[in-house]
Amino acid sequence: MGRAKKVVLAYSGGVDTSVCIPYLKQEWGVEEVITLAADLGQGEELEPIREKALKSGASESLVADVRETFIKDYAFKAIQANAIYENRYPLATALARPLIAKALVETAQKYQADAIAHGCTGKGNDQVRFDVAVAAMNPHLKILAPAREWGMSREETIAYGERFGIPSPVKKSSPYSIDKNMLGRSIEAGLLEDPSYEPPEEIYEMTKAIANTPDEPEYIEIGFTKGIPTTLNGESQNPIEMISQLNQLVGNHGVGRIDMIENRLVGIKSREIYESPAMVALIQAHRDLESLTLTADVSHYKRGIEETYSQLIYNGLWFSPLKAALDAFIEKTQERVSGTIRMKLFKGNAIVVGRRSEHSLYNPELATYGAEDQFDHKAAEGFIYIWGLPTRIWSQQK
Ligand code: ARG
């Protein structure tokens, strides 16, 4: 008796997930492996990947185009929440995992599989995100993670695959571990494991080196409706176009590179390089529009919610009661976050240089230092007296 009869495997076409197919069947007695490759706009051709799964022994090989859901239901929520982990990482990889998990669970239900599987090792965050998301959606499904248990080195994994007709990587495979989707690229391992080593230029794909960016600044205007980016330079854009055009425009000016030491959920500190041009610009623009349209108290309170929200995305709690509750709060705050942000892109910077909104709370008659000033200066005195009273009493008592 094997660990499961019919398994739906998250499939990328790489060596590890390919080897999972014969491994599940040979070593763990699985009868049928159905693979599922998600199209998250990673810009790879998926038909060869689909065929590779069949050649590696899958009984069925599926491709799911989840790009639009990914942007609308995941990226846009993250933007409304200004979700950035540890002040740096816009969570491209972390946001994709619950969506892949959802597709796995739905496929398992459709094909009456009794387990899902993934190729994550036991050291990363992604295994946590898959396992917890699957459990949240269907606690009866088994979760198989061969790479967490098989204990094979890279070479042994390739050799194992060759026994079952899985070709070893043709190109001398990249020394880095790279995860990639429309929201960004995550690059780790190899020489980057030395935190003092400067990332070589060749690892980047979505962003230009400053030396190669245009010598003239470029201006863009991003329009938001209720916290969701809807127009670019005055034209309506569908979610996928919005992200891909911004990736181009912003990446061309070298914006969106991040080099950080981050704290993984499993306790390890790791060195990560990210590039995420559209998300970096969008969150900056969105935050700025909030500063124009939210009251001070909502704005300040929301910062704490944003921190919690970022952590729960990172820590695999996308499908959780806390996330749902925070979503309700965030959605309420976004009712008036509509307007346009003007940004200047230049030499690695995306700088907000102007903002407009019909819900603007900025009141020129109160803010001005000119003759039109309507602010009651005399009222300040009484306000300050009462505001400072506790401090005054404390000072007198000393
Ligand atoms: N450290 C990042 C995260 O936890 C990225 C992980 C990327 N995975 C990879 N195979 N490179 O979200």
> Ligand 1: does its nearest atom lie under 6 Å from the Cβ of 275?
no
Examine the domain organization and report whether 192 and 100 are in the same domain: no
Q: Quick one: pLDDT at residue 169? A: 76
Q: Which pLDDT score is estimated for 167?
A: 84
Range of the domain at 387: 370-397
Q: Please indicate whether residue 94, judged by its CB atom, sits closer than 6 Å to ligand 1.
A: yes
Of 230, 259, 225, 261, give the one whose Cα is nearest residue 246.
230
Residue tagged 């459990």 (tokens): 135
Where among 175, 204, 233 does a domain terminate? 175
Does residue 151 share a domain with residue 277?
no
Query: How many domains does one find in the chain?
Result: 3
- Say whether both 268 and 165 belong to one domain: no
Asked whether residue 349 falls in the same domain as residue 376, the answer is no
Same structural domain, 242 and 305: yes
Residue 301 lies in a domain: yes
What per-residue confidence (pLDDT) applies to 172?
A: 59
Residues of the chain below pLDDT 50: none
pLDDT of residue 2: 77
Q: Among the options 56, 61, 126, 185, which is catalytic?
A: 126
Please report the pLDDT score of residue 392 as a whole number. Answer: 97
Is 364 a domain residue? no
Residues 117 and 129 in one domain: yes
Side-chain half-sphere exposure of 86, counting CA atoms within 13 A: 14
Predicted local confidence at residue 175, as pLDDT: 83
Does residue 382 sit within a domain?
A: yes
Per-residue pLDDT of 149-189, as tens digits, reads 999 988 899 999 999 999 877 665 678 889 999 999 999 99
CA-272 nearest atom, ligand 1:
1
315 Cβ below 6 A of ligand 1: no
Residues 184 and 142 in one domain: no
Rounded to the nearest angstrom, the distance between the alpha carbon of 396 and the centre of ligand 1 is: 56
Q: What is the pLDDT of residue 332?
A: 98
Same domain, 223 and 313: yes
Q: Are residues 189 and 244 in the same domain?
A: yes
In a domain, 390, yes or no: yes
Integer Rg of the chain from CA? 25
Half-sphere exposure of 263 (CA within 13 A, CB side): 6
Q: 130 and 234, same structural domain?
A: no
**pLDDT of amino acid 168:** 79
Q: Looking at residue 296, what is its pLDDT?
A: 98
Check which CATH number belongs to the domain holding 142 and give it. 3.40.50.620
**What is the model's pLDDT at position 84?**
98
Would the CB of 231 count as within 6 Å of ligand 1?
A: no
Q: What is the DSSP string of 133-153?
A: HHHHH-TTSEEE-HHHH----
Pick the catalytic residue from 59, 88, 177, 356. 177
The residue to mutate among 16, 265, 272, having the most atoms of ligand 1 within 8 angstroms of its beta carbon, is 272
Q: Of 140, 175, 210, which closes a domain?
A: 175
Query: 210 and 148 share a domain?
Result: no
Residue 348 within a domain:
yes
Query: Is 71 a member of any domain?
Result: yes
Polymer length of the chain: 398
Looking at the structure, do residues 203 and 217 belong to the same domain, yes or no? yes
Residue 282 lies in a domain: yes
